[in-house]
Copies of this chain bind each other. A is one copy, B any other.
Amino acid sequence: MLGLKLPTDPRWVNIAEKNIEDILIDHAWCEQKAASTAISLIVSFPEYTELVTAMNELVQEEMSHFKMVHDLLKDRNIVLGRDRRDFYVVELIKFFPKGGSREVQLVHRLLYAALIEARSCERFRLLSENLKDEKLRKFYRKLMISEANHYTMFLGFARKYHDEKIVNEKWSELLDYEAKILKSFEKGESVHG
């Protein structure tokens, strides 16, 4: 349903489980970055009123997730560590050429956001199905559903604001590219690593 062309290597879950504190810290920063991305879309495209309304809601939802992860860290007496670069995202957003009309730039940013949500959704599903800790399994099941909704929303906005056929082509090419990035990565103790 998410369209991803390469499923995550099942060994990732084992690495994640062994490094669950690193995963939680990285996850907190993923939520913060999702909130910042939504704010950035508001700042860059304020005249898209429906998008602004949706991004505003999204900021609040992502920060409520940040709080949930931060609370989990506090329960474990873990202090939130510094953010690390998300090389997956750094590589991903190199795909579309810079420039073009504002509308095309918006579409590219919406497709990047949709893909990051889709991959996060897939990873959270793996955590929700495989972690031994029941509380965490339920937690990731809940967040998996949110990520799926965000993925649908971003893709929907892209198709709404631009020619649907072109959007679908771009989306398909981005999915191919994402599979290549993922393949090139060592499995690591991060949400997208």
Binding site for B on A (CB under 8 A): 32, 35-36, 39, 42-43, 46-47, 49, 52-53, 56-57, 59-60, 63-64, 66-67, 70, 74, 79-83
User: When A59-B59, A66-B56 are in contact, do A80 and B47 touch as well, CB less than 8 Å?
Assistant: yes
Instruction: List residues of chain B with CB within 8 A of the CB of A32.
Output: 39, 42-43
Interface contact B36-A56, CB-CB below 8 Å? no
Which of A52, A74, A82 is most buried by chain B, counting CB atoms within 10 A of its CB? Answer: A52
Q: Which of B56, B63, B81 contacts A46 (CB 8 A)?
A: B81
Closest 4 CB pairs of A and B: A46-B80, A59-B63, A56-B67, A60-B60
**Interface SS majority for chain A:** helix
A86 to chain B, nearest CB (A): 13
A15 to chain B, nearest CB (A): 23
A66 to chain B, nearest CB (A): 6
Q: Apart from A32-B39, A47-B79, A53-B67, list 6 A-B contacts with CB within 8 A.
A: A36-B36, A46-B82, A49-B74, A49-B79, A49-B80, A56-B66
